[in-house]
């Protein structure tokens, strides 16, 4: 009876309530793809934890056990060595030079605000001149230059100031956020300018305040208005912020007390065999999965809910129930709805309806390729070396494994099988990065080379 009640409580109440989790509305024409619809709703985990006593109990158990483990590790470290866990030193090291991060981030904000005035200027000039094609081409060139400058300047500054990994990741992730916001703003408002027929026609463009609001809210699809909450629950925002701190501390302890012992013998003095490399992979799979889940909880749940609450942003559907996915494509769609919305609306939809009309498979392929390239750019620039394993795995899993694991029946067995092989993906990514990273640590004279581990450490 208890099991039945738990299952019933986790299911959506009825079809009307289930509509809260529909991402897109109906298209205007049959040939068009559906568009994103915003509505006031909570994040799925927030809803489960707040409304279901059983899920809330599991959440409390996880938090309590993680605190117990971290306190125990620090106490043991203090008794044996007279100091706290090196995990705390690791956090201080990897989040170093935050003053430089803040200055660059502030400059990135100002540069993004400048894009608004450039767009308004372009709209005003275009309405007055006769040669609108020239104005349009100059606008496209200016926008493309902004994209290219963003992809160049942030890695350049990271290398110049030798920023550590976490500080680099903050700047890289935020630079992509600013870029996709600018693209969404321009793409969402350019048709208003392009369809203007005369100089006397008044074009209603967004105010600077609307642009700034869009830049900071956790949404990537531009609208003049969004659903809003009535008030800010500061206690809710505070607890979500503390969850971010908690996940960072947990990840640092996992790295120090689990990952480092696995790779401590990787000296590159004696080359390792593929059998030994496979053992490293098996040992890394579960810690890698836990690190990935903590990253999801921090970035896609706690961070987005913190910002959304403080800015009274009502649509909190930042992710869906990816743990119930039946294939890889469905998993990626549900994992990150915020970026998925942008890719779908401004890449896939534009490619399928404007650039390559009717060729939806080609549009989907190019969308996957763009997403994989951006992910790889962030990781490469943050780590300081090229290891294209994320790119390869994203392309391979989506292209080759989607149809294999798509099932209409036997869903329970399929889910069990998927979760049995799921750790292999994060394990491959983490192992590839760790062996390359530690190889470069052991062989600093080879740091300027590519694929140091594969060239010097493998038998």
Lowest-confidence pick of 323-332, 372-381, 425-434: 323-332
More confident residue, 265 or 216: 216
The answer to whether the CB of 215 falls within 8 A of the CB of 178 is yes
Q: Per residue in 354-375, pLDDT tens?
A: 888 878 888 888 888 898 899 9
* Average pLDDT value for residue range 364-391: 88
The span from the first CA to the last CA of the chain, in angstroms, equals 58
What is the C-alpha separation between 18 and 320, in angstroms, rounded?
A: 12
* Average pLDDT value for residue range 6-14: 38
Pair (343, 246) in one structural domain: yes
Please name every residue paired with 80 in a beta bridge, in sequence order, or none if there are none: none
> Comparing C-alpha atoms, which of 342, 293, 355, 409 is closest to residue 178?
342
Q: Per residue in 14-59, pLDDT tens?
A: 333 444 555 555 555 544 556 778 889 999 999 999 999 999 999 9
Burial of 64 (0-12, 13-18, 19+ CB in 10 A): exposed
Q: What integer best gives the mean pLDDT of the chain? A: 84
Asked whether residue 18 is assigned to any structural domain, the reply reads: no
Asked whether residue 112 is assigned to any structural domain, the reply reads: yes
Pair (176, 208) in one structural domain: yes
What pLDDT, on a 0 to 100 scale, did the predictor assign at position 196? Answer: 73
| pLDDT above 70: residue 257 | yes
Asked whether residue 2 is assigned to any structural domain, the reply reads: no
| pLDDT above 50: residue 220 | yes
Asked whether residue 15 is assigned to any structural domain, the reply reads: no
174-194 b/e with 16+ CB inside 10 Å = b? bbbbbbbbbbbbbbbbbeebe
Using left for φ > 0, alpha for ψ between -120 and 50, and beta otherwise, residue 106 falls in: alpha
Q: 24 an active-site residue?
A: no
> Looking at 27-172, which runs of residues are DSSP E strands?
none
Pair (172, 238) in one structural domain: no
pLDDT band at 173 (very low <50, low <70, confident <90, very high): very high
| pLDDT above 60: residue 3 | no
Pair (329, 416) in one structural domain: yes
Q: Which residue has the tokens 């392009």?
A: 194
The CA distances from residue 249 to 18, 90, 95, in Å, are 36, 10, 12
Domain with 138 in it: 85-216
What pLDDT, on a 0 to 100 scale, did the predictor assign at position 194? Answer: 83
What is the C-alpha separation between 424 and 437, in angstroms, rounded?
A: 19
* Average pLDDT value for residue range 214-218: 94
Which among 257, 301, 375, 456 is annotated as catalytic?
375
Whole-number percent of the chain with pLDDT over 90: 51
Asked whether residue 363 is assigned to any structural domain, the reply reads: yes
> Comparing C-alpha atoms, which of 319, 309, 378, 458 is closest to residue 165?
378
Pair (314, 210) in one structural domain: no
More confident residue, 429 or 400: 429
Pair (116, 176) in one structural domain: yes
Pair (117, 244) in one structural domain: no
Pair (186, 287) in one structural domain: no
pLDDT band at 213 (very low <50, low <70, confident <90, very high): very high
Where among 216, 242, 257 does a domain terminate? 216
pTM equals: 0.85
Residues 6+ apart with CB under 8 A from 1: none
Q: Per residue in 276-301, pLDDT tens?
A: 889 999 999 999 999 999 999 999 99
Asked whether residue 28 is assigned to any structural domain, the reply reads: no
Rg (CA), the chain: 24
Pair (153, 275) in one structural domain: no
* Average pLDDT value for residue range 172-198: 89
Asked whether residue 444 is assigned to any structural domain, the reply reads: yes
Helix axes 208-216, 165-194, angle to 10 degrees: 140
Pair (57, 101) in one structural domain: no
Q: Which two tokens stand for residue 185?
A: 């703003």
Asked whether residue 134 is assigned to any structural domain, the reply reads: yes
Q: Which two tokens stand for residue 397?
A: 């899993």
Q: Per residue in 181-192, pLDDT tens?
A: 999 999 989 888
Where among 193, 216, 239 does a domain terminate? 216
Pair (74, 89) in one structural domain: no
| pLDDT above 80: residue 341 | yes
Whole-number percent of the chain with pLDDT over 70: 87
What is the C-alpha separation between 305 and 415, in angstroms, rounded?
A: 28
What pLDDT, on a 0 to 100 scale, did the predictor assign at position 425? Answer: 87
* Average pLDDT value for residue range 114-143: 88
């Amino acid at each position: 009876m208890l099991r039945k009640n738990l299952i019933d409580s986790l299911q959506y109440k009825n079809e009307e309530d289930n509509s809260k989790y529909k991402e897109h509305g109906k298209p205007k024409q049959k040939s068009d793809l559906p568009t994103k619809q915003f509505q006031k709703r909570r994040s799925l985990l927030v809803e489960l934890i707040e409304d279901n006593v059983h899920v809330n109990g599991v959440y409390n158990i996880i938090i309590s056990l993680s605190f117990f483990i971290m306190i125990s590790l620090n106490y043991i470290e203090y008794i044996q060595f007279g100091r706290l866990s090196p995990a705390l030193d690791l956090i201080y090291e990897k989040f170093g030079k935050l003053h430089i991060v803040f200055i660059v981030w502030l400059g990135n904000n100002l540069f993004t605000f400048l894009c608004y005035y450039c767009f308004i200027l372009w709209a005003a000039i275009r309405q007055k001149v006769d040669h609108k094609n020239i104005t349009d081409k100059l606008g496209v060139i200016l926008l493309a230059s902004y994209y290219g400058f963003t992809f160049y300047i942030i890695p350049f500054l990271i290398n110049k100031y030798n920023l550590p990994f976490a500080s680099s990741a903050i700047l890289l992730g935020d630079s992509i956020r600013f870029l996709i916001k600018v693209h969404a703003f321009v793409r969402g408002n350019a048709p208003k300018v392009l369809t203007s027929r005369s100089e006397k026609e008044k074009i209603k463009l967004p105010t600077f305040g609307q642009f700034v609001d869009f830049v900071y809210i956790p949404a990537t699809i531009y609208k003049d208005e969004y659903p809003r909450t009535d008030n800010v629950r500061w206690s809710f925002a505070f607890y979500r912020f503390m969850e971010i701190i908690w996940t960072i501390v947990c990840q640092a302890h996992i790295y120090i007390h689990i990952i480092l012992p696995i790779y401590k013998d990787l000296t590159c003095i004696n080359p390792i065999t593929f059998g030994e490399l496979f053992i490293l992979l098996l040992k890394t799979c579960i810690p890698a999965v836990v690190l990935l889940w903590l990253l999801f909880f921090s970035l896609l749940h706690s961070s987005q809910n913190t910002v959304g609450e403080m800015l009274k942003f009502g649509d909190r559907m930042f992710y869906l129930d990816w743990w119930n996915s039946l294939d890889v494509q469905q998993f990626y769609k549900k994992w990150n709805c915020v970026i998925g919305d942008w890719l779908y609306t401004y890449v896939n939809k534009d490619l399928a309806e404007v650039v390559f009309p009717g060729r939806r498979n080609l549009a989907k392929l190019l969308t996957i390729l763009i997403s994989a390239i951006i992910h790889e750019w962030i990781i490469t620039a943050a780590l300081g070396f090229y290891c294209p394993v994320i790119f390869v795995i994203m392309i391979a899993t989506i292209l080759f494994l989607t149809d294999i694991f798509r099932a209409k029946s036997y869903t329970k067995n399929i889910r069990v099988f998927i979760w049995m092989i799921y750790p292999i993906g994060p394990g491959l990514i983490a192992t590839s990065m760790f062996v390359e990273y530690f190889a470069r640590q052991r062989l600093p004279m080879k740091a300027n080379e590519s694929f140091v581990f594969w060239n010097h450490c493998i038998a």
